[in-house]
Amino acid sequence: MNRSFQQIREQVLNRTVLLPDGTKVPALGQGTWYMGENPNTWQEEVQTLRTGIELGMTLIDTAEMYGDGNAERLVGEAIRGKRDDVFLVSKVYPHNAGRNRIKQACENSLKRLGTDYLDLYLLHWRGMVPLAVVIEGMEQLKEEGKILRWGVSNLDTDDMIELVNCPDGRNCTVNQVLYHLGSRGIEYDLLPWQRDNHIPVMAYSPLAQGGTLRHHLLTHPIIKDLAEKKEVEPYQILLAWCIRTNEIIAIPKASKVEHVIANAKAASVQFTDKELEKLNHAFPAPDRKVPLDII
Ligand code: NAP
């Protein structure tokens, strides 16, 4: 490992988030949506995830949905021989989260991932299965040792309140939601509620995935100026902003080695209060409740 690689890794390892059970996870993880879908890019994607792991981005987020199981297969290949170094997160489809299906869905994920346990299993979004039943299934999987923890995704504040009021609902470890500089709705009530209830936010699409909003962010003069001043790329400003406190885990997806290295470098970017104020001014958080952004 060369010196600069080692330095980047140390900076990544310095940025952690504490889970409710006291486990520390890296604030910068890796997403996998749209990975494993093209045989021509498979090896490069495997190599990218492995590079991320070497750089300390050891939390890997996947789902049975991604590539119809192929993202989990790809992750399985990437973590072969490194299972103990990785904090593995997968998600169950809402229609598989009922009493008779969750165990099978989890076992299928484990098989594709080539492991016998998940560090964290998430309900991908709320569906028809009552939350109390989902929790029962998750707790059962925990008892069987197939998962170490469970959490949810795409739940807004009212759903979270309902969740924690179900039996064992307080065992929820994270809520994974969309969050980036151009989508700050959670700061109005969900983020403060999760902070008060010691349930960290896992931020998905921290780079605004694609499309016009991302272009707007990346070309905005405030972001470009900040990037220039800090000698980084606008992407790294977006990512560093997401993890600016020690309470949010961001899971950028990269399928190219140079992208994952760039993302890891965001761990060294810090903001002064004045810089944060400028960003707040250009991209204000809403001052009233807005529905949770979901993609
Ligand atoms: P994202 O991470 O915001 O953006 C991914 C895009 O950014 C890809 O096109 C990637 O390109 C590009 N990129 C990454 N790093 C870059 C860099 N340094 N320079 C230039 N381009 C870069 O979007 P996302 O995939 O939607 O979100 C991240 C993860 O969150 C997902 O992969 C998934 O694991 C999770 N997620 C969860 C939900 C949910 O409902 N729970 C929803 C969406 C996402 P390359 O691929 O070419 O590197």
Q: How many helices (H) and strands (E) does the chain have?
A: 12, 9
Examine residue 123 and state whether it is found in any structural domain, yes or no: yes
Based on the structure, what is the number of domains in the chain? 1
Name every residue whose Cβ is closer than 8 Å to that of residue 169 and which is 6 or more positions away in sequence.
131, 132, 135, 163
Specify the CATH number for the domain of residue 127.
Answer: 3.20.20.100
Examine residue 292 and state whether it is found in any structural domain, yes or no: no
pLDDT of residue 41: 98
Question: Does any ligand 1 atom lie closer than 6 A to the CB of residue 207?
Answer: yes
Rounded-to-integer distance, Cα 163 and Cα 222, Å = 39
pLDDT of residue 211: 72
Which residue is associated with the tokens 């209830």?
Answer: 197
In degrees, to the nearest 5, what angle opens at C-alpha 168 toward C-alphas 167 and 173?
Answer: 145
Would you call 235 a catalytic residue per the annotation?
Answer: no
Q: Tokens standing for 195?
A: 């902070």
- Expressed in angstroms and rounded, the spacing between residue 210 Cα and the centre of ligand 1 is 8
Segment (H or E) for 13: helix 3-14
Examine residue 107 and state whether it is found in any structural domain, yes or no: yes
Examine residue 218 and state whether it is found in any structural domain, yes or no: no
Q: Is the pTM of this model over 0.95?
A: yes
Nearest CA to ligand 1 atom 24: 205
Examine residue 199 and state whether it is found in any structural domain, yes or no: yes
Examine residue 222 and state whether it is found in any structural domain, yes or no: no
Q: Which residue among the candidates 34, 66, 93, 204 is catalytic per the annotation?
A: 66
What are 203's strand-pairing partners? Answer: 177, 250
Task: For residue 153, give the ligand 1 atom closest to its CA.
Answer: 41
Q: Which domain holds residue 103?
A: 3-208+246-269
pLDDT of residue 14: 97
pLDDT of residue 42: 98
Whether the Cβ atoms of residue 19 and residue 247 lie closer than 8 Å to each other: no
* Per-position b or e across 46-71, b if 16+ CB within 10 A of its CB: bebbbbbbbbbbbbbbbbbbbbebbb
Specify the pairing of strand 87-92 against strand 248-250. Answer: unpaired
Examine residue 282 and state whether it is found in any structural domain, yes or no: no
Biggest CA pair distance of the chain: 55
Q: Tokens standing for 202?
A: 């896992």
Examine residue 201 and state whether it is found in any structural domain, yes or no: yes
- Expressed in angstroms and rounded, the spacing between residue 144 Cα and the centre of ligand 1 is 32
Point out the residues of the chain with pLDDT beneath 50. none
